[in-house]
Chains A and B, each alone.
Chain A
């Protein structure tokens, strides 16, 4: 596709429910990142996928959060038993991961999650 897409754009859920957020990276991009952006805050790193390597899960805030990336493309971030403090915008980004670290991250429009 032309850019990174995320769905849904907005999600309202009740406390205790599970939610799944989807990210479609740019075709050919081998690296994919998930971030959380709480109101008035910067971007909090959650998880990073690079090709077939084991993902870097060091940013996941609790075991209620998990993510997978199928076939090196689409990724799903799952939040189980949602809490009100999970309310935030969840951003996905992809990069081509060429040699070196100057690759630009291309961001999706984000999913705004509201837990009531």
Chain B
């Protein structure tokens, strides 16, 4: 089974600053997808950003961007201009290409935003 590792259990960032959350994964597959999900205290998991492995261009969604290094099997999330509402647990997830496959999640990084 694929494994997803988030080595930073907790991170903090000053409001308006930039923070990077790390994620590495282990796979022998070439076709897969990567996701970052956010889980605020309300427990509602929300998709932040996603990336197809065959795309070399890093995905970007407003203040959120990824640094996808396929050879290194790394998929870090950069949050620019951090806001208080960004405080949450962030989970990295992996899914094999094609339907009918599981999602594999990391253990999460708890992000605190300091006013």
Interface residues of A (CB under 8 A from B): 31, 33, 35, 41-43, 45, 48, 50, 53, 56, 59, 89, 91, 93, 97-105, 107, 109-110, 112
Contacts and interface: CB of A to CB of B under 8 A. Distances in A.
Contacts of A42: 4, 6, 91, 105-108
5 pairs of A and B residues whose beta carbons are closest in the complex = A107-B45, A42-B107, A43-B105, A42-B105, A110-B43
A97 B100 CA distance: 8
Contacts of A102: 33, 50, 52
A70 to B, nearest CB: 20
25 contacts: A33-B102, A33-B103, A42-B91, A42-B105, A42-B106, A42-B108, A43-B91, A43-B103, A43-B105, A45-B102, A48-B102, A50-B99, A53-B100, A91-B45, A93-B45, A97-B99, A100-B99, A101-B96, A101-B98, A102-B52, A104-B35, A104-B47, A105-B37, A107-B37, A109-B42
